Amino acid sequence: MKPDTKYIKNGTINIAYQVFGSGPIDLVYIPGWVSNIDWMWACPELVSFLEELGKIARVILFDKRGTGLSDRVVELPTLEERMDDIRAVMDAVGSQKAALFGHSEGGSVSALFAATYPNRTISLIAFGIFAKRIYAPEYPWAPTQEERQVVYDMIENNWGSGEMDLESLAPSKANDPVFMDWLANYFRSGASPTAAMMLTKMNTQVDIINILGSIKVPTLLLQRTHDIDVKIEEGRYIAERIQGAKLVEFEGSDHLFWTGNTNEILEEIKAFILNVKPKPVYEKQLFTILVGQILSSEINIDKHKAFIKQSVENYRGRIIQYHKETFIATFDGPSKAVHCSMNMIGAIQNMNAQLTTGVHIKECLVGNPICQEIEGFKTLLLQKSMPNQILLTQTVKNLAAGAGVHFTQYKAIFETEAGESLSLYTVSDKPKHTIPPLRIESKRLLQNDSFLEKVLQNIDNHLSNEHFGVEMLCREVGVSQRQLQRKLKAITNKSPNKLICSVRLHRAKELILSQQKTIAEIAFLAGFSNPSYFSKCFKKEFAISPSDLIS
């Protein structure tokens, strides 16, 4: 019997979740690519698997942001945001500590959660996990750029149709039309074409290699030897880098754990859950560390300290050290630290001062995250950085994929305590990949029937028309103003007017970065008749003026 669907709000995003089962421990299932927790219960094979887990655990299911029954989003969801959704759902059901079961991409997110919140993680179970999703010399089993483009083209042209090559995910079910029809419906109901494309491009940027050594919880990795979606070498590579991890290889080539030899997989998971003995308390966990220095001829200590403290807390961070000109703060993830830095730099300039920050990720003592490596990073920042600059280590860059910022490699290198040489990067703001391409064929729009795509396309079509507003948009997409308001609020958490303005500004930003026209010309092209008002709106949206962006 399908459990009730409930919602928890994480920030402005509603996350759908379900709870069932009567076992003594909590088990959070983190699905792969896309999901729909209602449609899960329409597949007998998956229902049977979940119900067996429900006999030994209280099972918690949820749809990640942008998919299934959860709110749609208009920007790439970062790995960190998806990790934070796990925490929000656990809080909603009163789960202080849970075993995590992640499938495919869900395993990557689960691994980051286990490293960041070990004292909320009983154990980590992952099926078909990957550490990177794009080829690299040190990780040669991942798809190449050309192979990823094939996936993009499939989503662009065949999303949810019979031409998705879904048989490669479950070869054992290739001749089962009922199952394959359910799988196609599951994906269609899990994400629109735009959402599926955003998630796929986000996954291409995933790189958790540098945090694998920070996972200390009991870990079970499961994979089929001939899985063509995630190579078995990837599972072996990951198992070698997680302390004490157990890798179990199964015969077969299905990427879905609920098809093929499911009984073997289920018994392995149940035995692991029932027999694992986690540590009562972990002394270390993964921290994102922000180091900052205020540069001013007249340091107003109290004013600056109050501002820095409030800014850090706004991003769920914590100040752990503050001196006259320097401070150190910790965050749950890199995106929060990066965006906090960007906002602080702009505001500090208005106080007639300058700020430089650096962000690093390090496994540290829970009670005292400041260690020799962090002090070394602080020294490097003070010696090598420039005013109003944000420096990131390569580990931070890898985990901040999708955060809507641009990375440029820096001239310096940071040497860690372990003797590893990490490249450094500077950060600058850039338009998030939130809007689909400017021109989408109307035939494909009708075929995909994506309401958000239709709205965005119509805004694009009237981009330079300053009189284009909610009334005209309603006529174009064929809904009432009330329906438009309700649908856009549910999908994007923005009002129609705010979405129109946001699309105009993002388009303008793309034009500014191309440096082919003047700011005044771009303002008119984006539907702003007053360049001064355009600059005001632009700075409010991006925390930087058009002229400063050009500089």
Confidence category of residue 161, pLDDT binned at 50, 70, 90: low
- 8 A C-beta contact, residue 127 and residue 53: no
Q: Do residues 168 and 99 both lie within one domain?
A: yes
- pLDDT one-digit tens code per residue, 466-519: 778 888 888 888 888 888 887 787 777 778 888 899 888 988 888 887 766 788
Average pLDDT over residues 281-292: 93
* pLDDT value at residue 478: 82
CATH at 146: 3.40.50.1820
**CA-CA distance, 184 to 382, in Å (whole number)?**
54
Q: Do residues 173 and 301 both lie within one domain?
A: no
Q: Which of 275, 302, 319 is the last residue of a domain?
A: 275
- pLDDT one-digit tens code per residue, 101-117: 999 999 999 999 999 99
CATH at 514: 1.10.10.60
Answer whether residue 48 is part of any domain. yes
- 8 A C-beta contact, residue 341 and residue 299: no
In terms of pLDDT, which residue wins out, 464 or 333?
A: 333
**CA-CA distance, 283 to 126, in Å (whole number)?**
24
Answer whether residue 435 is part of any domain. no
* pLDDT value at residue 443: 36
Q: Do residues 79 and 197 both lie within one domain?
A: yes
Confidence category of residue 428, pLDDT binned at 50, 70, 90: confident
Which stretch of 120-129, 184-193, 255-264, 432-441 has the lowest confidence by average pLDDT? 432-441
Average pLDDT over residues 516-535: 82
pLDDT higher than threshold 50 for residue 434:
no
- pLDDT one-digit tens code per residue, 34-45: 999 999 999 999
Answer whether residue 372 is part of any domain. yes
Average pLDDT over residues 141-153: 89
Q: What's the token pair of residue 81?
A: 């945001």
CATH at 385: 3.30.70.1230
**CA-CA distance, 138 to 126, in Å (whole number)?**
22
Confidence category of residue 160, pLDDT binned at 50, 70, 90: low
Which of 266, 262, 72 lies closest to 179, judged by CA?
262
In terms of pLDDT, which residue wins out, 501 or 160?
A: 501
Residue 524, judged by CB atoms within 10 A of its CB (0-12, 13-18, 19+), counts as middle
Q: What DSSP state is assigned to residue 41? A: G
Answer whether residue 239 is part of any domain. yes
Confidence category of residue 76, pLDDT binned at 50, 70, 90: low
Hey, what amino acid is at 471? E
* pLDDT value at residue 286: 93
Q: Do residues 195 and 105 both lie within one domain?
A: yes
Find the domain containing 255 and state its range: 5-275
Q: How many CB atoms lie within 10 A of CB 155?
A: 21
Domain count, the chain: 3
In terms of pLDDT, which residue wins out, 539 or 18?
A: 18
Average pLDDT over residues 392-412: 85
**CA-CA distance, 16 to 367, in Å (whole number)?**
34
Average pLDDT over residues 190-217: 88
| Residue 104, helix vs strand vs coil | coil
- pLDDT one-digit tens code per residue, 9-35: 988 789 999 999 988 999 999 999 899
Percentage of the chain beyond pLDDT 90 is 47
- Per the confidence metrics, is the pTM higher than 0.85? no
pLDDT higher than threshold 50 for residue 441:
no
pLDDT higher than threshold 80 for residue 386:
yes
- pLDDT one-digit tens code per residue, 225-252: 999 899 999 999 999 999 999 999 999 9
Q: Which residues lie across from 25 on neighbouring strands?
A: 57
The H or E element spanning position 537 is: helix 531-542
Q: Which of 275, 298, 333 is the last residue of a domain?
A: 275
Average pLDDT over residues 446-468: 73
* pLDDT value at residue 269: 97
pLDDT higher than threshold 50 for residue 292:
yes
Q: Do residues 262 and 314 both lie within one domain?
A: no
Q: Which of 428, 460, 486 is the last residue of a domain?
A: 428
* CA dist 213 → 111, 237, 286, 493 (Å): 10, 12, 10, 37
Q: Do residues 292 and 271 both lie within one domain?
A: no
Answer whether residue 541 is part of any domain. yes
Confidence category of residue 152, pLDDT binned at 50, 70, 90: confident
**CA-CA distance, 464 to 518, in Å (whole number)?**
15
Q: Do residues 85 and 180 both lie within one domain?
A: yes
In terms of pLDDT, which residue wins out, 427 or 516?
A: 427
Answer whether residue 444 is part of any domain. no
* pLDDT value at residue 447: 35
Average pLDDT over residues 68-80: 80
Q: Do residues 271 and 346 both lie within one domain?
A: no
* pLDDT value at residue 107: 94
* DSSP for 176-202, written as a single string: -HHHHHHHHHHHHHH--HHHHHHHHHH
* pLDDT value at residue 468: 85
In terms of pLDDT, which residue wins out, 219 or 483?
A: 219
CA angle 356, 358, 363 (to 5 degrees): 155
In terms of pLDDT, which residue wins out, 164 or 353?
A: 353
Q: Do residues 343 and 402 both lie within one domain?
A: yes
* pLDDT value at residue 431: 41
Query: What is the sign, positive or negative, of the torsion defined by CA atoms of 385, 386, 387, 393?
Result: negative
- 8 A C-beta contact, residue 484 and residue 510: no
**CA-CA distance, 73 to 53, in Å (whole number)?**
31
Which stretch of 247-256, 299-308, 319-328, 333-342 has the lowest confidence by average pLDDT? 299-308
Q: Do residues 153 and 65 both lie within one domain?
A: yes
Q: Do residues 330 and 421 both lie within one domain?
A: yes
The secondary structure of 128-182, three-state, reads: CCCCECCCECCECCCCCHHHHHHHHHHHHHHCCCCCCCHHHCCHHHCCCHHHHHH
pLDDT higher than threshold 90 for residue 208:
yes
Answer whether residue 436 is part of any domain. no
| Residue 448, helix vs strand vs coil | helix
Q: Do residues 339 and 479 both lie within one domain?
A: no
Mean pLDDT of the chain: 87
Answer whether residue 443 is part of any domain. no
pLDDT higher than threshold 50 for residue 437:
no
Q: What's the token pair of residue 194?
A: 């735009």
